[in-house]
A and B are shown apart, each in its own frame.
Chain A
Amino acid sequence: GAGVSQSPSNKVTEKGKDVELRCDPISGHTALYWYRQRLGQGLEFLIYFQGNSAPDKSGLPSDRFSAERTGESVSTLTIQRTQQEDSAVYLCASSLLGGTVGNTIYFGEGSWLTVV
C-alpha cells in the first residue's frame, strides 16, 4: 500500500527484554515522527527526523529509548530493558515536509506493545 507501514502490529514481550519497532514511511516523505499513545491518553511526541538534519530526540522518555533512520526511508525505534510502563501503541507518521502548516502528517496503524 501507499501508506505508512509499521511492524510488528502487535508485540508481547517479557519485562527486561529489548524490542525493535519498524516504520516504513510514505515514499518521498522527508519528515518522520514517532509518537506513543497510552490507553486513555493523548499521543506523546517521541522523536522527529527531517532529511539529513539532526533528529529532535527531546521526547524520548529515557535512555532506554533510541531511534534511527536510514536516509529518508526506514526508521527503527528500539526500547531496551522494557518495563511495564512501556506498554502502549507506538505510532509512526511521515509527511512530505516538516511541520503542520500546509503539510499533512500521515500516521501508520501503530505497533501495540505489551510488556508482561
Chain B
Amino acid sequence: TQLLEQSPQFLSIQEGENLTVYCNSSSVFSSLQWYRQEPGEGPVLLVTVVTGGEVKKLKRLTFQFGDARKDSSLHITAAQPGDTGLYLCAGASGGNDYKLSFGAGTTVTVRA
C-alpha cells in the first residue's frame, strides 16, 4: 500500500499542452518533494515545499502544497518533449525527515 497516491499513472500529451499531476495522502507531511526520473538514471530533485498552501514556480512548472499538508500538485504549462519522464512525489514527516515515502510515479510523455 502506497502512503502517497499519484494520479494519473500515465499521461501522454501533445507538445504545447498543459498537464497536472496529483499526489494525495491521508497523512500529514512536514515537507514534500517532487522528483523527475529518466530511464536508467536516478531521480533528480525539482522542488521541496514545506508550508501548507505554498506555491513554488520553476520556469514552466508550478508546484502547490495543500493547506493541510496532505496533498500536492505539479502543473506544467506548454509542455515540451524535454519534460518527458517519470515524476515522483515524496513526503517526509515528523522528526525523521530524512526518510522519504514515495508515490509510485506518473509517467509523462510529451509528443512533438
* A residues 94-110 in Cβ contact with B at 8 Å: 98-101, 104-110
Interface footprint category on B: 20 to 34
- Contact, CB under 8 Å: A50 / B40: no
A108 to B44, CA, bound (A): 10
- Which of A12-20, A35-43, A79-87 lies at the interface? A35-43
Q: Mark A39-58, 1 if CB is under 8 A from B, else 0.
A: 01111110010100000101
> Is the CB of A67 closer than 8 A to any CB of chain B?
no
| Chain A residues whose C-beta falls within 8 Å of the C-beta of B40 in the assembled complex | 109
Q: What distance in Å separates the Cβ of A38 from its nearest Cβ neighbour in chain B? A: 10
* A43-B90, A56-B99 known; A105 vs B41 contact (CB < 8 Å): no
- Which residues does chain B contribute within 8 Å of A91, judged by CB atoms? 42-43
Whether B99 pairs with A109 at a CB distance below 8 angstroms is no
Identify which of B53-61, B63-71, B72-80, B101-109 touches chain A.
B101-109
Interface residues of chain A, those whose CB is within 8 Å of chain B, are 4, 31, 33, 35, 40-45, 48, 50, 56, 58-59, 91, 93, 98-101, 104-110
